[in-house]
A and B are shown apart, each in its own frame.
Chain A
Amino acid sequence: MISAPDVVAFTREEELKDDLYREPPLPEEYSVPLFPFSGQGANPWAKVAGSKFTRDFILISEFSEQVGPQPLLTIPDDAKVSGTFDLNYFSLRIMSVDYQASFVGHPPGSAYPKLNFVEDSKVVLGDSKEGAFAYVHHLTLYDLEARGFVRPFCMAYISADEHKIMQQFQELSTEFSKASECLKTGNRKAFANELEKKLKDLDYTRTVLHNETEQQKKANDKGYYTTQAIEKANELASVEKSIIEHQDLLRQIRSYPYRKLKDSEFHPYEPECALDRADVGSHDQDPTASEPGETHLYTHVPSYTPKLIKAKSAKCFDKKLKTLEELCDVYFFTQTLDQLHHIERTFRGDVCYLLTEQISRALLKQQSVTNFLFEDVSFLDEKPPEKQYRGCQGLGQDAMDEKCLEESLAPKVVISLGSYKSSVECVPIKMEQEMEDSEEPKMSESVMSEQQENLDYLDADIKGSISSGESIEVLGTEKSGSGLTKSESQASLPAMASPQAGRSKVGSRRTVSEDSIEVLSTCPSEALIPEDFKASYPSAINEEPYADDDEGGLRFTPRANLGVHRGQEDISKQESLVQVDAACCIGKESPNFLEPLAEQLGQKACEEDGVVRIPPQPYRGPAEQGLRGGFPSHQGLSGGLLPYELDSRHLTGSREVSKSSLDECSDSTSHISSAASTCSDRTPSPAQPACAQPGDRHRKRAGQNALRFIRQYPFAHPAIYSLLSGRTLVVLGEDEAMVKRLVTALSIFVPSSGGYTKPVKHWVTSALHLVDFQKWKLIGLQRAVSPAGVNVLHALSRYSRYLSILDADSKTLRCPLYKGSVVARLADHRTQIKRGSTYYMHVQSILTQLCSKAFLFTFCHHLHLPISEREPEESLVSRRMNFLKLQLGLANEDIKIVAYLAELLKLHYIQEPGRGGHPLLRFDYVPSFLYKI
């Protein structure tokens, strides 16, 4: 509604560059950044040259201890999607950048093997040779039979569009974290299960061995032990040791702080969910029938008969490794697959579209007074907890900071870091990003200068990456998480600080960040860690080797691998990045903070203001911003561009960066886990899927049908007017498909009264009653020749005063006259719009105008209440009409439309939250006319 993605920015091509310089330069804010890869193809939406797959997909790979990296499955599971893309090769690539600090096995000084609860690592990497860019999410699953009990896996979102990965990094990360969490939860259960079985085996073996030893002892009267007996005794000892080890492992896995999944998406079984929650903090993961609710998942457990375990287990390569499904329990595996499919659907389509969608969704969410009318509000209400984060008041301070960081800035730094390293053959680079609270006060000083440098770097980096012939680039990583000790310690830390503290901090820092807002940011991974881990994050940092370094910031562990000429700058750059982020993230927390507090704007005003001032522009990444700065590409490389060399344009540029990051911030926040419909024909995306999400598909089809309707039926206007003014429209016809098509077409004009679904009934075969008109505003009705059909028609004529009747068979319409002008704009039969979804957007934009008029009308005090006590009703009425006619420019029947919408707004606003409110039917006593083609 906010923007029509059909209107996409024209991106200038490289060849035009010279001409452009001759022209007077456009003001900064109007210029469109050059498509950074213009060398590869003129059309920025064309498939990036070289990519061997048709559309984005998700790949799950494993680093098998037997065969090395191997792809396991792709989503969608369709050979066409990956095409000629070498999955094996790419698996090797993505598995080679696993930064999980996984140490499993016998740590020195420990008697028993320790399970390491490693955090997932999140990496963005690119393979320019393959034309593939990927968000790679590494995770480790436990397997008793595997070496060190761990099996490294990774899930990768592979796209040809690097920017998409970068800009959607946060969202990808959040979504993949959920999938990973789901896998790991299942895995822990399965692992505990496996351990229990193994313990039973061992116990049994011990009993058997013990008996044997006893027998031998009895049989042996020679006074010395035979080698056989000694062997047996040794064996027994090793079994006993093994038992202790396994018990310890079981204890460890059970004591694993249970991460409750914030979101019940993975636990559709409510009872199970409740059980899980009840278990939080205690030892859970005990599947051995102690929780009756879960037994259905583990029905095999009770009937397990222990086996004798041979002293020597089979050779590593002989045994068959468990499949992912076995590792994670079928239930959780399918849940994960569902989640991955969801991710795949969510991120389909061009990034420009994704971003626009996110922005408009974020803005719509703020229009709580009117958005229910014509928008699909179901997605707005999804995940209410997410909304609260935006307010940032419920979170502890640390958590808040991190959250802010995570939400607003993360993806950009990834870009900056990644791109400037691109010319180097990058072997695993570990970036450890730390933030210490002590650094924060300093940040504002260094911000101004350093952010300029960053820009330079970005500039250089892009160029570098273009010229790079290297096949793989690590574009960004995330810090791997903490180990077992940390996760244990966290439980004792308070998760939340008082909301007041958090708030005041926000306020005070805001001023600091005002000028220093800087997009470039790191992405501390713990922000993505589920809630219960967050509190412990600072302690985790302190344990990191580089945490004591004053320079803080980012570190490249294998520093030697960096290009020599850059090494030094890298460090300083990274420092600045981190510092800037930490300082500014708070201020960017939500668009509301943009508004100067001094203006004393209320929340409502803020919201409206926000709506107005954030233009529906495609997102501009910092990389482009850097480019736009027009710096010679190699300055950065040639060493140390000083901050004061920068001209003012860069300052403005960077401010814009910050601004756009704010936009980004707002939508990324709101976008999280929303079921975004991401693809439609609106964006000429390289990956044009056959089917989009239901909502989107519906829009597209509805738009197309609506276009057809307004072209075919000359009386479309009164029909639409009926819908807009709340008079139920009945589409009468014999053919169900045709009626349903018409209903779908017209449904986009039906204002919703606040429920989740539009008051549209696609197909009814029985006679209508008054109650139906109360409930439905658009009804598809069967015309039948049977006696029942007569009844149907009788009811129609009886209730004709409440109805407009569109006869699809005889192509007639019976409804009141319409002489207004709004509908003419809405449904011009000579419209040049061709695409269904475009028309849908057009309709939405006009309806939005109507909504805003209705909003004004509803909330203008003096239009509804007398100014003075003695004011007669007549003058009130005339004032109201004057406002509608003169102020809002409405004529004739348009007034009724706005009045009806205003009535809906009122009802929605005054409705008690708990109660549904009584549906009421409003109608007019107006004559109807019969329209024919």
Chain B
Amino acid sequence: KSSVQTIGEEQIQNPYTELLVLKGHQDIVRFLVQIDDCRFASAGDDGIIFLWNAQTGEKLNELHGHTHKITAIAPFSSSDVAEEKANLIITASADRTVIVWDCTSGRQVQKVSCFHSTVKCLTVLQRLNVWLSGGSDLCVWNQKLDLLCKTSHLTDAGISALVELPKNCVAAAVGIHKSWLSEILIFRLSASNNGSEGWNILEVKRLVDHQDNISSLVSVNDLTFVTGSHIGELIVWDALDWTKQASECNFWDSSVHPDVQPEIKLSQSPHETSVQHLTSDEECVFAAVGKGIYVYNLQMKRVIACQRTAHDSSVLHIEKLPNRQLISCSEDGSVRIWELREKQQLPAEPVPTGFFNMWGFGRTNKQVNQAAKKVQENTPVYFLELVGDLIGHSSAVQMFLYFGELGLATCSADHLIILWKDGERESSLRSLTLFKKLAQNGDLQLKL
């Protein structure tokens, strides 16, 4: 019954032929964050942060300090001229604390525990050398963990995502508790008049176009940011004037089943249509919607390719690789590698482009729709080709981190982190090490 595409055992293009299992966590591992070229941190429900060497899989450090699960993690490289460049990470936990760690020493640099509620998201404004924590209010901190300013308490609401916008602005996705309502608040940071270090934060705009909780918020470039909601709305916003540029809904509405009644669609579990994760490159936004993956072209303002059931269950994380490849991971425990390809000839079955919804955007979008259809005829058609899958985790793969040629780190609810590596490359690296060691031991010249 499953319409999930399978690839079989022969995967010529899959470079990952070696793996390392990194054990350490006692509970679900939810976050992976890159620290520098060869280090990354992992965190999850056990409240421990581990630092790993991405090349060797060596456990570099264990950071203990939180008593509850980790809710947010952000890397923060301090750029003080006086000091050496220190790699810090900031972690927030359900124990209502935020800790700043020094990755090199593994020590706790500072800890803040004055929060009224759990901090759900952290973001670093590297440019301003400040970082923000979002929970029931939005706080702005400097590197030394001094509270610079904060917003008023948001009653019955919590910030679930933050993204930096140009002109010292921040977009915060705010979900109203006990309701499906959701809005995007735009805050502006401004230097206060009465102090050199002082900052003020002001709410400048409130966007209420989403019908449901906003599940993902991502900045595409200086001009655009994108939000996705639980019922599958994707809205592209102008980052400067915060107006809606385009919106896409009904990802799950497939032209394959035109006869399906809208009622039935609506009764579909919101899970199936929820926009779990968004990522983007300059041209496209890649959305993990339910079990599927959708590629939305910003210029064409339409979905150019999709894989309706890319996984057996929800796709949790998605990432675009430089080489036109896309990696997705899912609750089904698998990681899949896709490649965005151009179809050479007219497809037998047109790619189901997104259809604009019937709930109110109809009029404005009609022209766009027609325009899109027109464009479709003389532009190449894309599709997502499965080029490999990585099976290792026995439970949902929460996230992954692409390390370029060092490999790919995946973390999962089975408490494990797996480091997937290019076997060929590793083999030749080992040879290199071997001959270095031979030379070191002085065995090399004796070989004649």
Chain A residues within 8 Å of B, Cβ to Cβ = 601-605, 769-771, 774, 795, 798-801, 858-859, 861, 864-865, 899, 903, 906-907, 909-910, 918-928
Chain B residues, Cβ within 8 Å of A801:
9, 391
B115 to chain A, nearest CB (A): 38
A925–B10 contact, CB under 8 A? Answer: yes
B20 to A: closest C-beta gap in Å:
5
User: Which of B35-43, B103-111, B427-435 lies at the interface?
Assistant: B427-435
A865 contacts B392, C-beta separation under 8 Å: no
The dominant DSSP class at the A interface is helix
Nearest-CB residue, chain A, relative to B430: A906
Closest beta carbon of chain B to A802's beta carbon, Å: 8
Q: Which residue of A lies closest to B392 (CB)?
A: A770
Complex contact B18–A926 (CB within 8 A): no
Query: Whole-angstrom distance between the alpha carbons of A903 and B9 in the complex?
Result: 23
Q: Which 6 A-B pairs have the closest CB atoms?
A: A602-B446, A864-B431, A925-B11, A906-B430, A927-B9, A910-B433
Enumerate chain A residues within 8 angstroms of B56, measured Cβ to Cβ.
918
Question: B9–A906 contact, CB under 8 A?
Answer: no
Q: Given A602-B446, A770-B418, is A922 in contact with B435 using a C-beta cutoff of 8 Å?
A: no
* Distance in angstroms between the alpha carbons of A525 and B326 in the assembled complex: 76
Q: A918 near B437 (CB under 8 angstroms)?
A: no
- A931 smallest CB distance to B (angstroms): 16
Contact pick for B435, options A603, A605, A774, A864, CB 8 Å: A864
The answer to whether A770 touches B433, judged by C-beta atoms less than 8 angstroms apart, is no
Q: Determine the chain A residues whose CB is within 8 A of the CB of B23 once the complex forms.
A: 771
CB of B19 within 8 Å of the partner chain: yes
Contact A604 B443 (CB under 8 A): yes
Q: Is B423 an interface residue (CB 8 A)?
A: yes
Report the minimum CB–CB distance from A677 to chain B (whole Å): 32
Confirm or deny: B14 has a beta carbon within 8 angstroms of a beta carbon on chain A. yes
Instruction: Give the shortest distance, in Å, between A801 (CB) and chain B (any CB).
Output: 5
Structural contact, A920 and B20, CB atoms closer than 8 A: yes
Please name all residues of chain A whose beta carbon is closer than 8 Å to the beta carbon of B393 when the two chains form the complex: 770
Q: What residues of A have a CB within 8 angstroms of the CB of B112 in the complex? A: none
- For the complex, what is the distance from the CA of A799 to the CA of B14, rounded to whole Å? 16
Q: Give which listed residue, B17, B388, B438, B444, contacts A924 with CB less than 8 A.
A: B17
Are A922's CB and B423's CB within 8 A?
yes
Decide if B446 touches A605 in the complex (CB within 8 Å).
Answer: yes
Min CB–CB distance A209 → chain B (angstroms)? 74
Q: List 10 A-B contacts (CB under 8 A).
A: A602-B447, A858-B431, A903-B430, A909-B434, A910-B437, A918-B57, A920-B20, A922-B18, A923-B423, A926-B9
B-side interface residues, number (CB < 8 Å): 40
A918 to B58, CA, bound (A): 8
Give the shortest distance, in Å, between A777 (CB) and chain B (any CB).
Answer: 15
Extra inter-chain contacts (7) besides given A865-B435, A910-B430, A920-B19, CB under 8 Å: A602-B443, A602-B446, A602-B447, A770-B19, A903-B430, A922-B18, A926-B9
Inter-chain CA distance A923–B389, complex, in Å, is 13
Q: Which residues of B contact A798 (CB under 8 A)?
A: 391, 394
A925, B9: Cβ atoms closer than 8 Å: yes
Does B21 touch A at the CB level, under 8 Å?
yes
Cβ contact of B18, chosen from A604, A906, A921, cutoff 8 A? A921
Tell me, in angstroms, the Cα distance from A605 to B444 when the chains sit together.
Answer: 11
B435–A601 touching, CB < 8 Å: no
Within 8 A of A (CB), among B294-326: none
B446 touching A601 by the CB < 8 A rule?
yes
A604 touches B447 (CB 8 A): yes
Give B410-434 as 1s and 0s: 1 = Cβ < 8 Å from A's Cβ atoms: 0000001010010100111011111
**Most chain-A CB neighbours within 10 Å: which of B23, B418, B446?**
B446
B12 at the interface (CB under 8 A from A): yes
Report yes or no: A909 in contact with B431, Cβ–Cβ below 8 A. no
Quote the shortest CB–CB distance from B8 to chain A (angstroms).
Answer: 7
Is the CB–CB distance between A928 and B431 below 8 Å?
Answer: no
Chain B residues near A924: list those with CB within 8 A: 17
Q: How far is the CA of A827 from the CA of B430 in the complex (A)?
A: 32
Which residues in B have their C-beta under 8 angstroms from that of A899? 427
**Among B416, B418, B431, which residue has the most Cβ atoms of chain A within 10 A?**
B431
Is B18 within 8 A of A928, CB to CB?
Answer: no
B390-414 CB contacts (< 8 Å) to partner A: 391-394
Closest chain-A Cβ to B106's Cβ sits at a distance in Å of: 19
A927 touches B8 (CB 8 A): yes
The winner among A605, A771, A899, A919 for most chain B CB atoms within 10 A is A771
Q: B394 to A906, Cβ gap below 8 A? A: no
Nearest-CB residue, chain B, relative to A861: B435
* B428 neighbours in A (Cβ, 8 Å): 864
| Interchain CB contact (< 8 A) of B17 among A865, A923, A928 | A923
B-chain residues with CB within 8 Å of residue A918 when the two chains form the complex: 20, 56-58
Look across to chain A and name the residue whose beta carbon is closest to the beta carbon of B424: A877
A865 near B432: Cβ-Cβ < 8 Å: yes
Closest to B13 in A: A925
CB-CB under 8 A from A865, the residues of chain B are 431-432, 435
- Given A604-B446, A795-B394, A798-B391, is A923 in contact with B435 using a C-beta cutoff of 8 Å? no
C-alpha gap A177/B423 in the complex (Å): 53
What distance in Å separates the Cβ of B199 from its nearest Cβ neighbour in chain A?
A: 46
A601 contacts which chain B residues (CB < 8 A)? 446
Residue of A nearest to B394 (CB): A769
- A922's closest neighbor in chain B, by CB? B18
B-chain residues with CB within 8 Å of residue A604 when the two chains form the complex: 443, 446-447
Given A907-B430, A927-B8, A771-B446 contact (CB < 8 Å): no
Give min CB distance, B417 to chain A, whole Å.
12
The distance from the CB of A422 to the nearest CB of chain B, in whole angstroms, is 50
**Nearest-neighbor residue (CB-CB) of A801 within chain B:** B9
Closest to A906 in B: B430
Inter-subunit contact A920/B18 (CB<8 Å)? yes
Cβ of B421 to closest chain A Cβ, rounded Å: 8
Once bound together, how far apart are the Cα atoms of A774 and B21, in whole Å? 8
B164 CB, nearest partner CB in chain A, Å: 37
Contacts of B445 in A (CB 8 A): 602
Which residues of B sit under 8 angstroms from A795, Cβ to Cβ?
Answer: 394
Tell me which residues across on chain A come within 8 A of B14, comparing CB atoms: 925
Q: Are A925 and B437 in contact (CB under 8 A)?
A: no
Task: State the Cβ distance, A604 to closest chain B Cβ, in Å.
Answer: 6
A906 touching B443, Cβ below 8 Å:
no
Closest to A769 in B: B394
Complex: A918 Cα to B426 Cα, angstroms: 13
A608 (CB) vs chain B CBs: closest residue: B447
Is B437 in contact with A909, judged by CB distance below 8 angstroms? Answer: yes
Name the B residues within 8 Å of A859 (CB-CB). Answer: 434, 438, 447
Q: Which residues of A contact B19 (CB under 8 A)?
A: 770, 920-921, 923
CB distance from A917 to the nearest CB of B (A): 9
Query: Inside 8 A of B437's CB, which chain A residues have their CB?
Result: 909-910
Closest residue of chain A to B439, judged by CB?
A861
> Within the assembled complex, what's the spacing in Å between the Cα atoms of A921 and B392?
11
With a cutoff of 8 Å between Cβ atoms, the chain A residues found around residue B423 in the complex are 922-923
Complex Cα distance, B429 from A903, in Å, reads 11
Q: Tell me the minimal C-beta distance from B444 to chain A in angstroms.
A: 8
Docked pose: A605 CA to B432 CA in angstroms: 22
A contact residues around B435 at 8 Å (CB)? 861, 864-865
* Residue in A603, A799, A910 whose CB lies within 8 Å of B391: A799
- Min CB distance B268 to A, Å, is 28
Instruction: List A contacts of B447 (CB < 8 A).
Output: 602, 604-605, 859
- In the complex formed, the residue of A with least CB distance to B428 is A864
Which A residues are in CB contact (< 8 Å) with B8? 927
- Asked if B58 and A858 make an inter-chain contact with CB atoms under 8 angstroms apart, the answer reads no
Contacts of A927 in B (CB 8 A): 8-10
CB distance from A593 to the nearest CB of B (A): 17
A602 and B441 alpha carbons, distance in the complex (Å) = 12
Query: What chain B residues lie within 8 Å of A774 (beta carbons)?
Result: 21
Write out the residue numbers on chain B whose beta carbons fall within 8 Å of the beta carbon of A907. 430
With most chain B CB atoms within 10 A of its CB, the pick from A858, A906, A928 is A906
Q: How far is the CA of A859 from the CA of B430 in the complex (A)?
A: 12
Contact B17 A922 (CB under 8 A): yes
Neighbouring B residues of A769 by C-beta, 8 Å = 394
Taken together as a complex, chains A and B put the C-alpha atoms of A602 and B444 apart, in Å, by 9
Chain A positions within 8 Å of B11 at CB level: 925
